[in-house]
Amino acid sequence: MHIYKYITKTFSMLSLSMFCSFLSTWIIMQKLSVSDFGLFTLLKSLLPLFSFLALLGIDKAYIKTFANKEPKNTSYYLLVFITLLSVIISYVCVSIYGISEYYYFILSGIVFGAINFFLTSYFRLKNRYFLAQFILGGHKIIFFILIFYFFYFDYLLDDYRVLFFLCASYLLPSLFYLIYYFEVSKNKNILTFFEFGNLFKIGFSFFLLNCLNQVITAMDKWSIPILYDNEILGIYSALGFVYITVFSMISSAIGYVIFPEILKNKALDIKKILVSLSLLPLNEI
């Protein structure tokens, strides 16, 4: 059974990306004012949400639709769809929070982030789970490298550069879109507009469930700047900094693998999986 191997690979990359996120956040706390750190925390929590909104569940629908058949090329409609929604979402965001100077940073982060979400689904279909997890969380590693470089050589790290690095870090993983494009272009099967619309219909239920999850888990960080200011958010985020545990990462790794594997109609030995997963944290020590 390969599922334990898939979960281990996913968990390993997830652990590395979360560790890099921890270190980069610690460095930024030393360099930015409380108010600027609050703004960074706000955008750090909003960008994944907005990227998810720009897809409207199409990434999950893609897995469900092509779990047992060759994926079709949806690049033409997908890029236009993501870009148009991202423009609208970015405008609404900067209008609500009064940060219009960061409009293009946020727009680029949403576009590349949405592409990364979609690519993650495609590569999970292809059983390339390690690569899929790098595309999903690799921006945290890239962001840490940029921040650590400036920190090590004592270059200026202000709010503008930090937010630029945050949004730009989504770019490199999205370049794997070229691999997706060349692979799906081989069979010359292109999704029609009607089929693309069906993806939206299938994915909308997943979209609503994930929206509810996002609201429950991150509503505090979205609402504090509106009710108070970024400085209060900075204090709040610093106090609650170490909330990520090994077990929360394990559950994420399991979910990332189990969902596409079930849709592929693969028989899963649940008892064996549970026994194997009980040893998973020991593999990371």
Contacts with 161 (C-beta within 8 Å, 6 or more apart), sequence order:
150
Type of residue found at 242: V
User: Residue 265: what pLDDT?
Assistant: 58
Type of residue found at 144: F
CA distance 248 to 230: 27
And the tokens for 25? 């956040």
Q: Are 71 and 187 in contact (CB under 8 A)?
A: no
CA nearest to 113, candidates 57, 49, 25: 49
130 by Cβ neighbours in 10 Å (0-12 / 13-18 / 19+) ranks as middle
CA nearest to 135, candidates 178, 185, 196, 164: 178
Average pLDDT per consecutive 10 residues, the chain (285 residues; last block may be shorter) = 72 85 88 86 88 89 86 87 95 92 94 94 89 92 95 89 92 93 81 85 81 71 73 67 52 60 60 55 44
188: left (phi over 0), alpha (psi -120 to 50) or beta: left
CA nearest to 21, candidates 135, 140, 170: 140
3-state secondary structure 25-38: HHHHHHHCCHHHHH
Q: What 3-state class would DSSP assign to 156?
A: coil
Type of residue found at 105: F
Q: Are 104 and 132 in contact (CB under 8 A)?
A: no
User: Residue 104: what pLDDT?
Assistant: 94
Q: Are 174 and 115 in contact (CB under 8 A)?
A: yes
And the tokens for 134? 């790098």
Alpha carbon of 256 to those of 53, 63, 85, 122, 164: distances in Å?
19, 11, 25, 12, 29
Give the residue extent of every domain in the chain: 3-283
115 by Cβ neighbours in 10 Å (0-12 / 13-18 / 19+) ranks as buried
User: Residue 9: what pLDDT?
Assistant: 78
Alpha carbon of 38 to those of 24, 86, 226: distances in Å?
15, 23, 12
127: left (phi over 0), alpha (psi -120 to 50) or beta: left
User: Residue 251: what pLDDT?
Assistant: 56
Contacts with 67 (C-beta within 8 Å, 6 or more apart), sequence order:
125, 260, 263, 264, 265
Instruction: Classify residue 73 by its DSSP letter.
Output: B
